[in-house]
Amino acid sequence: MILSALLTSVGINFALCLLFFILYSVLRNRPSYADFYIPRLVAEGKFQEDDEFSVGKLLSSFKWVKRACQPSEEELLANSGLDAVVFMRIFTFGLKVFRFAGIVGICILLPFNYMGNQLNIDFTDLPNKSLESFSISNVDDGSNSFSPLPYNMAFHIQQLGCGFMHGVYVEIDHKLFFILQEYDYIASKRIAYFYSSKPRPGQFTVLVRSIPATSGRSFSESVESFFSEYYPSTYLSHSVVRRTSKLRGLVNEADKVYKRLVHVKSKKHPQQRFKRAGFMGLFGRKVDLLDHYEKKLEDVEGNVRTERSSIAGKEVPAAFVSFKSRFSAAIVSHVQQGVKPTEWITEQAPDPQDVYWPFFSASFIKRWFANIVVIFACIFVTVLFLVPVLLVQGLTHLDQLEVWLPFLRGILNLKIVSQVITGYFPSLILEMFLSLVPPVMIVLSSIQGYIALSQIEKSACIKVLWFTIWNIFFANVLSGSALYRVDVFLEPKRIPELLAVAVPGQLLNVYAPKFETGGKFWPVVHDATIFSLILMHVIAIGIFGLKKVPLASSLAIPLPILTLIFNSYCRRRFRPSFKGYPAEVICHSSLTYYLKLLNYIHHVAILIAVCSFKILDCLSTEYTPSAVMIQCLINKDRFDQSDPTISSFYDELATAYRDPAMKSVRYSEARESSSSPLLYGADK
């Protein structure tokens, strides 16, 4: 891609962003679009309808930008939960990292690379130069100036060859510092969120699957007998899962019919109630839609009652078991309950509104087989996506496109056409295909046996992340080079060099949580960041080797090893608090000391300190996360016992995990009001 094509793409995208910004600002305040743009304000009754149009109101439409920047993190936590805070911290974390990297890249690397002579640049024709002119590909092979390049060197190189006079900006310390800082911040927020939260059903409940069948006993009786015997003082209640797929389908159908009935009732003119009964309402005799939907709703209601009466015998070998304390639930979820590891499988239950009900009937073998199928399906989707990637690469290489499609040569020679095709169309096509990937990954994750909607979305995020790593990074690079050299795939050892020449490292983090998980998405961000660092190290090694600087290449080899050691330290230091309940982890003084090291001692000593903390963490028994977790849970349980509302919470907990399809649907009362909800409540 040439520089002018890039600027064309930037101009088009900026104009579109400005257009969408104006349209959103104006339309969001229109009553007819309020349900689409601000549904939360409409649901909470905070939206005031005003159909009057004035210039003052038009100008005030842009005030939402100021209001969006005003809320503090505490207000965001109170209104939207900890997941929203974590989501925003992803952006602040990225800005912190790329602010420094951007300064180094623009002020040092970009002019330094451009001054090279490897590509024989004509300075008088800058707009028509390839972007490779600004990359490290333009630096002369064997140049001593490679010593100051800040490709994540972990220590100062004060004087090596003809480098910069005052050393190196050490990016690895900069990035690892922020990784550690953000991980500690999110972990502390998670702990504070746990201590300040009210008792939640998911904290007291365990999901038990693969319940062994006993002759003469139902699954419900087996569960009650088992936990009453082994946990007599803490066992509270249980709710056995039943096969409700057919009932759920009937309830969904009734919901659709009821909404259509309400829509018909809301029509002002009686003639609008009549419609032809044939195909798409165009053929057949006219019928009264009000009578039609009322009769259909009565039929569905009868089917729902019939199916509900027969659902009691359709038990699934799975149950939600509730306990009187969080500590007891944590013990049960982490201890093997049965002699056979494939029976009485326990895990922490999600909150009732987060439960994904359709997949409970699957056995251990079915879930294992489903995971294998999903793996192959993900591979198939990834390979299938290579087609648009190749198409995009073809658009960025017009010379190859002219060879494939010679009849377009005249059009492609037009300057504006070539700039739009190479600068804008590739990203547009790629984004269009990428928009199809998250829904596909959510569908694949939903059949893996996850029991929570948040787990499904987290799994889908990880799948999209790895999909992006392969298709948007590796496949994009390799396919672009394959247009010229197919034989590179036969030489895997050259891939680091190829990556170093073709594009800089990039990684797209996908984070779109719907449910409150208490910040459990942050480890995904951490792992993606660590992977990007290691990938950058590999690219740096390839760059230095390609440019014939063996000393710099040798000095870069320890970087992935040291980064993995740092990652292992972070996993032991912070990861336990993201599994199960929030809990205190290693004392804060060790973190403070480590941060002081990052500021005051030499970079080599910093890496030694990381390794030392790793060794101390392995040898010390004082920092055992499980011990502190136990203390944290017990303290919280003791605090709740003094809460006068805990008894009513226990009563609600006994019925909290009933399948929504089992709740009573009172259609007769609902039909009396066009604004009444379909589901009114559950029979106790």
Q: How confident is the model at residue 322 (pLDDT cuts 50, 70, 90)?
A: very high
Q: Tell me the per-residue pLDDT of 37-50, one tens digit each, with 9 for 90 and over.
A: 666 666 656 655 55
Higher pLDDT, 281 or 454: 454
Query: Averaged over 595-614, what is the pLDDT?
Result: 40
Distance between start and end Cα atoms, the chain: 66
Q: Which residues on neighbouring strands pair with residue 481, listed in sequence order? A: none
Each domain of the chain, given as residue ranges in start order, spans: 1-70, 363-490
CA distance 658 to 682: 9
Query: CB neighbours of 7 closer than 8 A, spacing ≥ 6?
Result: 127, 423
The more confidently predicted of residues 507 and 650 is 650
Q: 205: which 2 tokens?
A: 């409940």
The interaxial angle of helices 453-468 and 364-384, nearest 10 deg, is 30
User: What distance in Å separates the CA atoms of residue 418 and residue 5, rounded to the nearest whole number?
Assistant: 8
Residue 374 has which token pair? 């999903």
Percent of the chain with pLDDT over 70: 55
The arrangement of strands across the sheet holding 315-323 comes to: 235-242, 315-323, 205-209, 345-348
Residues 6+ apart with CB under 8 A from 416: 8
Please name the residues in contact with 46: beta carbons below 8 A apart, sequence gap of 6 or more: none
Average pLDDT over all residues of the chain: 69
- The better pLDDT of the pair 56, 85 is held by 85
Look at residue 34 in the predicted model and tell me its pLDDT: 65
DSSP 544-604: HHHTT-HHHHHHHTHHHHHHHHHHHHHHHHHGGGGSSS----S-HHHHHHHHHHHHHS-HH
Coil, strand or helix at 631? helix
Is the sign of the CA dihedral 438, 441, 446, 450 positive or negative? negative
Lowest mean pLDDT among 360-369, 414-423, 473-482, 553-562: 473-482
Higher pLDDT, 250 or 275: 250
Q: How many helices (H) and strands (E) does the chain have?
A: 32, 6
Task: Name the least confident of 127-141, 235-249, 551-565.
Answer: 127-141
* Cα separations in angstroms, 382 against 116, 233, 389, 478, 557: 38, 52, 10, 14, 30
Copy the structure tokens of residue 115: 């001054």
> Three-class SS of residue 155?
coil
Read off the pLDDT of residues 300-320 as tens digits, 9 standing for 90 and up. 888 888 887 777 667 888 899
In contact, 165 and 150? CB cutoff 8 Å: no
* Residue 220 exposed, middle or buried by CB count within 10 Å (0-12, 13-18, 19+): middle
* Backbone φ and ψ of 347, nearest 5°: -155, 155
Q: Examine the pLDDT at 540 and tell me if it is beyond 50.
A: yes
- DSSP for 358-409, please give it: TTTT--HHHHHHHHHHHHHHHHHHHHHTHHHHHHHHHHH-HHHHHHH-GGGH
Q: Is 162 helix (H, G, I), strand (E, B) or coil?
A: coil
Write out pLDDT tens, residues 171-223: 666 777 788 888 888 888 888 887 777 888 888 999 998 888 888 888 888 99
3-state secondary structure 591-618: HHHHHHHHHHCCHHHHHHHHHHHHHHHH
Tell me the chain's radius of gyration from C-alpha atoms: 30
- Give me the phi and psi of 318, to 5 degrees please: -150, 145
Query: H-helix or E-strand containing 82?
Result: helix 82-104
Contact 286, 275 (CB under 8 A): yes
**What's the one-letter identity of residue 659?**
D
- Contact of 419 with 392, CB cutoff 8 Å: no
Element (H, E) at 287: strand 286-288
